[in-house]
Structure 1
């Protein structure tokens, strides 16, 4: 029997192929044993040892139902087989929670929830957002990402380090529920770090060292969200 195609709007989650191989080996199972279990216990009549090998080699990515079944066959949670989740859907799958359960918990009908999940556009209330974060064990950085706010955060942070950081404190406070003093401390340090790099490019003139400093400054802006969360966590920004 042929493997059914994945639905266009249901791509597989970020699968950790090496983890699947390690977990299978740790159980003393061969690909044929996993395939048999998938057929016999998880309703996958098309599962073959070759398909299991293809997953483990990264040649094929399992769909969400396949990943859940594979986790059952390997006696692990779906999260053990997923790379770092990025989207709301990936976090839900990693936690092994059905969309119906999420929708019920946050007080939404299933269809509106699924539409938000697929679009990556969370529009829940503050209370619903708190329930969602608790149910899926989302950290604040994860919550900002899965609710589609990361691009706006990056925009505000780039404005803070390239102009006056003080002008962005209020907007950042609306976007991320952090203590104002913590936001100010992080922005001030990030601003000093970036401006120090840009000052170096001017003082060195048209030299290889200046060009290198310019590239580092551009990289800093590209990774500004990561540096911000590091600054929040540690109280000072991580240096690139």
Structure 2
């Protein structure tokens, strides 16, 4: 196998999370070999360095396509860029997954292009409440994704950890202020998470069953470590 050669990634254009199995599956479904994909990348999308070895490297996960490469690959495979991306987390990744140019998003939310690109690069959304609403609509963000993209996830995690380890009632207002959720839904979810955590930690105090105690303590730590995910799962169960 020859060495894979390609130009270095452009500044400020790291590749999005790539779904290598999806790329292999889509190529196979079209009856194409890596050599066919490479040819189309060269002929139709202006990637003169594209070779079958580069395509294979992408499909093995040995290399990650840059943003322009992923867009071109999606064109060759007759799919959207989103079908080749793992779960997006950043503002840039969500934009690429929707197949939008930064100019499109900047115009939609009413930001100067350079200001918007700086927010993408720094992963620090600074838009107003109105701009945030338009951003969510433009990128079709779910509430959990919106919280992550706008940098509120760590604050939410802190509030949830405090709620389950102390008095959950004291954090209902703060969580409700952070998230556009019904107050009763927040109350029920925080109470359940608190009871779950406290139940696990109480089990660690049971004497005469050390293995069970250690297991319960580990589960309590696991709940805290993934507290945001547990919160969203319970919210979805109550309000699908």
Say yes or no: TM over 0.5: yes
Cα separation, partners in 2 of 1:205 and 1:164, compared to 1, 3 Å: farther
Report the 3-state secondary structure (helix = DSSP H, G, I; strand = E; otherwise coil) of the residue aligned with 1:19. helix
Alignment of 1:99-178 (within 5 A): 99-178=102-181
Residue 220 of structure 2: aligned partner? 217
TM-score computed with the length of structure 2 as normaliser: 0.95
Residue 93 of structure 1: aligned partner? 96
Q: Which runs of 5+ in 1 are unaligned?
A: none
Query: Quick one: distance in 1 between partners of 2:177 and 2:9?
Result: 39
In the TM superposition, what is the alpha-carbon distance from 1:173 to its structure 2 partner?
A: 1.2
Report the 3-state secondary structure (helix = DSSP H, G, I; strand = E; otherwise coil) of the residue aligned with 1:202. coil
In the TM superposition, what is the alpha-carbon distance from 1:152 to its structure 2 partner?
A: 0.7
Alignment of 1:36-75 (within 5 A): 36-75=39-78
Query: Quick one: distance in 2 between partners of 1:39 and 1:205?
Result: 69
Residue 183 of structure 1: aligned partner? 186
TM-score computed with the length of structure 1 as normaliser: 0.95
Report the 3-state secondary structure (helix = DSSP H, G, I; strand = E; otherwise coil) of the residue aligned with 1:128. helix
Residue 197 of structure 1: aligned partner? 200
Deviation string for 1:161-189 (max 9, x for gaps)? Answer: 00000111111112111111110010011
In the TM superposition, what is the alpha-carbon distance from 1:8 to its structure 2 partner?
A: 5.1
Deviation string for 1:138-165 (max 9, x for gaps)? Answer: 0000000111111110000000000000
In the TM superposition, what is the alpha-carbon distance from 1:195 to its structure 2 partner?
A: 0.5
Cα separation, partners in 2 of 1:212 and 1:8, compared to 1, 3 Å: farther
Cα separation, partners in 2 of 1:190 and 1:10, compared to 1, 3 Å: same
- Between Structure 1 and Structure 2, how many residues are aligned? 236
Q: Which runs of 5+ in 2 are unaligned?
A: none
Alignment of 1:14-29 (within 5 A): 14-29=17-32
Query: Quick one: distance in 2 between partners of 1:119 and 1:214?
Result: 37
